[in-house]
Amino acid sequence: MAKIDIKNKRARFEYEFLDDFTAGIMLTGSEIKSIRMGKASIAESFCVMVKGELFIRNMYIAEYENASYYNHQPKRDRKLLLQRTELKKLERKLKDKGLTVIPSIMFINEKNLAKLNIHLAKGKKLHDKRQDLKEKDTRRELDRAMKKG
């Protein structure tokens, strides 16, 4: 079976990661089948705390073609499963200004369960993004020079 790794490529560019967690996702049957086919996106998604529970918003999972009347909504809120201590820690940290929870990778683990790597993150300023681009360019130039030499 093909390895499923659905990435949020812009997350590392837009945010500075402070802390990371691995969370389970509460899904319906048609949702997990769509994810196993690779038909999902976490590019524009983010996490919110509602009454002490963590939910992911704006995560897109395409409808499963073979599901009948009981198909799922592609962009509904989905509950994330974390331990109570991790949830309390996130809730305390989210009270700070400018912090958010961003998903970076959705994957299927060895037990065939859908998991999500989430990060407590702080938005980067424009000059931070420019600095990252400069570092990336210099690394690329060094790699090219090493290959030629």
pLDDT digits (tens, 9 = 90+) for 53-70: 888 888 888 887 776 677
pLDDT value at position 39? 83
- Domain of 66 in residue numbering reads as 5-148
C-alpha 103: how far from chain center: 2
In a 3-state reduction of DSSP, which class is residue 53? strand
Which amino acid does the sequence have at 129? K
Mean per-residue pLDDT over the chain, rounded: 82
User: Which whole-number Å values give the CA distances from 22 to 30, 83, 135, in the listed order?
Assistant: 22, 10, 29
Calpha distance 111→5 (Å, rounded) = 15
**Residues 80, 145: Cα–Cα separation, whole Å:** 45
Which pairing describes strands 46-50 and 60-61: parallel, antiparallel, or unpaired?
A: unpaired
CATH code, domain carrying 71: 2.40.280.10
What total of structural domains would you count in the chain? 1
Report the predicted TM-score, pTM, of the whole model to 2 decimal places.
Answer: 0.72
The answer, yes or no, to whether residue 26 has pLDDT greater than 70, is yes
